[in-house]
Structure 1
Amino acid sequence: MATAGTRRWTCLTAAAGSAVLMTGCMGAGDQLNVVGYGSPAEANSEVFNAFTQTSAGEGLAQAESYGASGDQSRAVGNGQPADFVHFSIEPDVSRLADQGLVAQDWNDNAWDGHVTTSVVVLVVREGNPDDITDWEDLVREDVEVVTPNPGSSGAARWNILAAYLSQIQAGGTEQEADEFTEDVVENIVAFPGSGRDATTSFLDGTGDVLLSYENEAILGLQQGEEYDYIVPDRSLLIQNAAAVTEEAPEEAREFLDFAVSPAGQEIYADFGFRPIDYAADEAEIGEIEGAGDPSDPFPEVERLATIDEDLGGWDQVVDDFFDEDGTITEIIEGSGLN
């Protein structure tokens, strides 16, 4: 299995984090429209290239569009062509199901609609000069935080929920978790529109710690960036949703099947994504370049929360945290960041 460091990146030429339409490597045959959030752009491209080497994908070309998850979902809802959608959070697919663009039972399958998974990590400057080791360091007076805006970015919702849950996982009350989240938000110095833009801001020198996905941290190190990252012993399992649209050709469904297969999950793992449960037992994961420990790239998280088990599912999460009167919405509005 090839490592990400040896792969050729000539197919993916759009600026990271921007919603730019581009044609993939295949030059003949039918075209598959792939629309997603920014984080899996490189991995999706490599999975697609591998798919074209199968009988189901032979001769297939692709057009890709990537950006902030919520923005991309709304774009598809407003008419942007899409056959396969891959978003950060389930509500961005459910929105399309409500519009009749995706089947209502899109996640009624063996992989529960999740094609990629990761965990929330803390990205710090190389050598960790500020001695940041855990969530509580994010509320220190001398620490500045970078994270994307949950109004447009699915990554931001995972990040801020992980911060909130870290206090529940430590035995705190909901009120204490609310207060901690408010203190974290007070330390945010950059609030970009997408996870990729947040990473760019951090790499440009803003802030002391970046809230990010483990896979995004690994990918940056694979591409030569210089920083460290910490996998806290309390974190949140990131489960990224994907589906085919109702009018998509059969090739889109076959691509989805390939993406969740052991072969597809091995490629995603090369780019820092943790294999989904559906394929984890059969996927062969070797050393992962860029991981904190390449030989043990996905360390077990001692206390790993999930949206369904710890927060009652995404519908409840949106109601409690992200609606107009949601806890996190009110905290952000009170901070003046949005």
Structure 2
Amino acid sequence: MSKSRKGRLSWLKGVLSWLNLSMSNRRLKSSSFKSFVQLFVIGLSLTVVIAACTSTNRDTSLTTSQPNEVELNLVSFSVTGAAYEKIIPKFVEKWQQEHNQKVIFKQSYGGSSSQALLVAQGKEEADVVHLSLALDIQKLERAGLINPDWETEFPNNGIVSQSVVALVTREGNPKNINTWNDLTQAGLTLITPNPTTSGLGRWNFLALWNAAKQGGADEKQTRDFLAKIYKNAPILPESAREATNTFIKAQGDVLLTYESELINDALQGKKPPYVIPDVNFSIDNPVAVVDKNVDRHGTREVAAAFVEYLYSVEAQKEFALLGYRPIASSLWQDQALTKQYPPIKSLATVKDYGGWAKIQKQFFDDNGIFVQILKTIKAA
């Protein structure tokens, strides 16, 4: 407690002592009853003041204390784990140096839409979410977990990592897969995640739709094109990771996946053969602080600092090294870093198709084009 506060309390206690003495010396006659009541009220008021001062001092001491450790729950889509293995330790070290506090990360990875559902249902109390597409974060916004202005809280409209779609083939490319059109050939088995559960599944669908449109196809021709391709996909795994694991188990002739996944595999010596179509779709992955959870956990400060760190050149370099196309323009000047990224001739974005609200309704709702295409395949 400060000296000035101690002095005020000492003075107040002295006044109370005088009042008590005065009251004890007075005879409680009816003529002096009014004076007694006045003194009593004054004494009671001063007692409240002292209690408030003491309470204020106690509350301040509690709020200024800081635990030695803080837990941060990160929920992300399935293929970002390799990048966070590099990024999280750097942030932990930085925070420890600057705040003398250890950050312990709890991490969860899975299909983007499935992860969003777990957070929305409270089964994963995420402080930070990094999901495959903004649509999944919008689900958390509608659930009241994230503030409506989340896209304005951080740079680049909340987009913290980017990639494109790649076509992975078997060694030697026996099916001669080089373009989107090659996916329609009879007898081919395609592995791609389910768009209803996987962010990658949606991105793959949009890339295929865009490829047909860019080739001059009308609505019916585009639907027929996708029907031929999805007819070659007998199973639709729940997530990008499950799709990759299915392909690794020698199922399928070609896998549609993130370019970032393949570059990361190549860095680990696996070097899978793949093609990056020069007509492609920008896979924009957003990040957000889960407002309701961080306020309940008391982790807003560290959660916001972690998200801001993901935009730093240091963190973005780690993303770029592990296959995510840099969002920091300065990193594109590093040819040694970016030589692994083939140029894209035509790169479509979500905005080109009216934004996620329109895309969801048109393609992925219960009676959207994707479901209609599956019904067409089953009826054939």
* TM score, norm. by length of structure 1: 0.85
> Is it true that 1:92 corresponds to 2:136 in the alignment?
yes
- 2: CA distance, partners of 1:52 / 1:175: 52
Local SS of the residue matching 1:171:
coil
The residue aligned with 1:12 is none
The residue aligned with 1:236 is 281
Local SS of the residue matching 2:250:
coil
- 1: CA distance, partners of 2:315 / 2:243: 27
Output the amino acid matched with 2:311. Answer: V
Q: Is the 8 A contact 1:137 1:143 kept in 2?
A: no
The residue aligned with 1:162 is 207
Query: How many Å apart are 1:201 and its aligned residue?
Result: 0.5
Query: How many Å apart are 1:243 and its aligned residue?
Result: 0.3
Query: 1:307 aligned to 350, 367, 376, which one?
Result: 350
Report the CA distance shift for 1:269/1:282 in structure 2 as closer, same or farther (over 3 A): closer
Name which of structure 1's ranges 205-214 and 185-194 shifts more when overlaid on structure 2.
185-194
Q: Equivalent pairs: percent with the same residue? A: 34
After TM superposition, the structure 1 = structure 2 runs for residues 250-289 of structure 1, keeping only pairs within 5 Å, are 250-276=301-327, 279-282=328-331, 285=334, 287=336
- 2: CA distance, partners of 1:298 / 1:193: 27
- 2: CA distance, partners of 1:226 / 1:282: 24
| Structure label with greater radius of gyration | 2
- 2: CA distance, partners of 1:216 / 1:202: 13
The residue aligned with 2:19 is none
- 1: CA distance, partners of 2:335 / 2:241: 26
The residue aligned with 2:151 is 107
Query: How many Å apart are 1:282 and its aligned residue?
Result: 5.0
Output the amino acid matched with 1:45. Answer: E
Q: Is the 8 A contact 1:259 1:265 kept in 2?
A: yes
Deviation beyond 6 Å, 4+ runs, structure 1: none
- 2: CA distance, partners of 1:305 / 1:205: 32
Query: 1:82 aligned to 126, 131, 154, which one?
Result: 126
Local SS of the residue matching 1:299:
coil
Query: How many Å apart are 1:313 and its aligned residue?
Result: 0.6
The residue aligned with 1:67 is 110
The residue aligned with 2:20 is none
Output the amino acid matched with 2:289. Answer: V
- 1: CA distance, partners of 2:357 / 2:93: 39
- 2: CA distance, partners of 1:113 / 1:336: 39
The residue aligned with 1:47 is 87
Question: Structure 2 unaligned runs (5+)?
Answer: 1-67
> Is it true that 1:36 corresponds to 2:76 in the alignment?
yes
Q: CA RMSD in A?
A: 1.9
- 1: CA distance, partners of 2:87 / 2:378: 41
Question: Structure 1 unaligned runs (5+)?
Answer: 1-27, 289-294
**1:117-163 Cα deviation digits (max 9, x unpaired):** 00011011122122111000000013211001111101100011101
Local SS of the residue matching 2:287:
strand
Local SS of the residue matching 2:177:
coil
Output the amino acid matched with 1:320. Answer: Q
Name which of structure 1's ranges 314-323 and 40-49 shifts more when overlaid on structure 2.
40-49
Q: How many residues of Structure 1 are paired with residues of Structure 2 in the alignment?
A: 301
- 1: CA distance, partners of 2:249 / 2:334: 32
Q: Is the 8 A contact 1:101 1:245 kept in 2?
A: yes
Output the amino acid matched with 1:308. Answer: K
Query: How many Å apart are 1:285 and its aligned residue?
Result: 4.6
Query: How many Å apart are 1:258 and its aligned residue?
Result: 0.6
Query: 1:298 aligned to 318, 321, 341, which one?
Result: 341
Query: How many Å apart are 1:220 and its aligned residue?
Result: 2.2
The residue aligned with 2:13 is none
Report the CA distance shift for 1:78/1:319 in structure 2 as closer, same or farther (over 3 A): same
Query: How many Å apart are 1:236 and its aligned residue?
Result: 0.4
The residue aligned with 1:134 is 179
The residue aligned with 1:196 is 241
Query: How many Å apart are 1:219 and its aligned residue?
Result: 1.8
Name which of structure 1's ranges 148-157 and 123-132 shifts more when overlaid on structure 2.
123-132
Query: How many Å apart are 1:53 and its aligned residue?
Result: 2.2
Output the amino acid matched with 2:371. Answer: T
Q: Is the 8 A contact 2:211 2:279 kept in 1?
A: yes
